[in-house]
Amino acid sequence: MPVTARITIAGLGAGAPGDLTLGAWEALKSSPCTLLRTGKHPVVEWLCREEIAFSTFDAIYEQAPNFQEVYARIAEAVLGEARRQPVLYAVPGHPLVAEESVRLILERAEQEGLQVKLLPAVSFLDAVFSALRLDPGSGLQVLDGLLLEERPPLPTRPAVITQVYSRLVASDVKLSLLELYPPEHPVTVLRAAGVPGEERVETHPLFEIDRLDWVDHLTSLYLPETDKSNGICCYPLDPLVKIISRLRGENGCPWDREQDHRTLRPYLLEEAYEVLEALNEGDMYKVCEELGDLLLQVVFHAQIASESRSFDINDVVAGISEKLTRRHPHVFGSVTVRDSREVNLNWAKIKAEEKGGYTPKGLLADVSMSVPALMRAFRLQKKAAGVGFDWPDYSGAMDKVHEELDELESVAAGGELIKIEEELGDLLFSVVNLARLLGVEPETALTGTSTKFIKRFAHVEEMARLANRDLLQCTLAELDKWWEEAKKLEKIREKR
């Protein structure tokens, strides 16, 4: 063992003596102080026959109230001994795989300036991969069975669950997994993977895993991914709901506790626009992040509603799931449609039936007044077009734009603000209609133009700065010159 290493941490391998590395074996033979996390490992009996002296921390498992306390006490004991003399601390498998005590030791040793050397070994995961012929590069998840509440698996990817120490732990693991997987989901239970003569591999439905009387400290689970078409949630909302619930709880965040449906309204609108901005930019990483922020607002409102027992997130999900199923009989039922126009007609018919067969407020009444005017105009026109009130093609709408522009020019000359406002509204409405018939979403088009304006004006500002001029001191001719430069630069970039 190197003189400079106060702590050497060695892996004992998956369970067979042959899994030990030469370095670990030499360290075991020469160490004056060898500490084993546990004596309950297949290699330990062989170490005894080889007359390797050691002590274990198994007594702490009986004394401590939970595993977190067990690992904390073990780490402190190893560090305490290392302050007096060099020690060898040996753990099952690989020292860096599912070994919380090692993590704690490394963290504390670095703080205290204690030199640590790691001696790797065959991990129990290597044995699991071999037993099940698994490729860990295929998106495999490795999760701690004692921490599933904090870090649940993603059901659409295969997962190995470690630390299934007993039938009691298996029962807790089962309950956590049943929130994500169907009860019949196949689970491969592995005991003593890689240990000759002791390895046991059986596949059982999830609901049975805690009924197996041979589950012990050498047990792990393997769950294949779920079938995406079976209706199982790909990732549960539960963790997010629990976080919001805690933030709103007695010892939570003061700001979150103060919010209500009214105070959250601006954030909901803001997050929706940030999603639109990310979509316009085409940045999928940003889209993912912004959708998460928007989802937070949905869950936040649902949590507030649940506190007054109005509804909760489960009601929200169940409601929209049932609605989508009901309004898509051509997918979930026997109805046949030829194109998207018939889909829209069926959708409107089903909505009318849901309201008792008639809509007393009129066809356009359910177009929200809260959405921006440009978007509302688009939706109103689309609604009317759905029942045939529409131009045959965009040419009629184009003529209407010219007609409205002429009317605006006529009233603008008179200077009467009320009439100007009315005719300008008509012009904008007709432009939205033209955009719809050309297959362009006007909100997206205008957002793109606004972004382009910002970039061009930034060039104008930069040129003024380089000329050491204040914008207010520049002539219109100068500003227009720099503006045209910005347009030319855009075209050059586009050609590249």
List, for residues 260-316, the tens digit of each pLDDT value: 999 998 899 889 889 988 888 888 889 999 999 999 999 999 999 999 999 999 889
Q: Which residue did the predictor score with more confidence, 101 or 3?
A: 101
Q: Which residue did the predictor score with more confidence, 232 or 86?
A: 86
The share of the chain scoring above pLDDT 70, in percent, equals 95
Task: Please name the residue ranges forming H helices in 282-416.
Answer: 284-307, 313-326, 329-332, 340-354, 373-386, 394-414
Compute the average pLDDT of residues 367-388. Answer: 84
Compute the average pLDDT of residues 83-111. Answer: 92
Tell me: pLDDT of 52 over 90: yes
Compute the average pLDDT of residues 466-493. Answer: 89
Tell me: pLDDT of 358 over 80: no
For the ranges 54-63, 167-176, 342-351, the lowest mean pLDDT is seen at 342-351
Residue 496: pLDDT band with limits 50, 70, 90: low
For the ranges 152-156, 338-342, 360-364, 370-374, the lowest mean pLDDT is seen at 360-364
**What pLDDT is attached to residue 1?**
43
Asked whether the whole model's pTM tops 0.75, one would answer no
**What pLDDT is attached to residue 13?**
87
Tell me: pLDDT of 229 over 70: no
Per residue in 169-209, pLDDT tens?
A: 999 999 999 988 889 999 999 998 888 888 899 999 999 99
Contact of 70 with 64, CB cutoff 8 Å: yes
Which tokens sit at 99? 């070994």
Which tokens sit at 124? 């129990």
Q: Comparing C-alpha atoms, which of 179, 168, 246 is closest to residue 209?
A: 168
Residue 24: pLDDT band with limits 50, 70, 90: very high
Residue 92, classed as helix, strand or coil, is coil
**What pLDDT is attached to residue 214?**
94
- Sheet (strand 116-119) strand order: 55-56, 34-36, 87-91, 7-11, 116-119
Q: How far is CA 457 from CA 90, 182, 365, 446, 460, in A?
A: 65, 57, 40, 16, 5
Compute the average pLDDT of residues 332-354. Answer: 81
The helix or strand, by DSSP H or E, that contains position 65, with its residue range, turns out to be none
**What pLDDT is attached to residue 4?**
61
CB burial string 5-22: b at 16+ within 10 A, e below? bbbbbbbbbbbbbebbee
**What pLDDT is attached to residue 3?**
44
Tell me: pLDDT of 28 over 90: yes
Residue 236: pLDDT band with limits 50, 70, 90: low
**What pLDDT is attached to residue 232?**
47
Which tokens sit at 69? 């306390």
Contact of 164 with 200, CB cutoff 8 Å: no
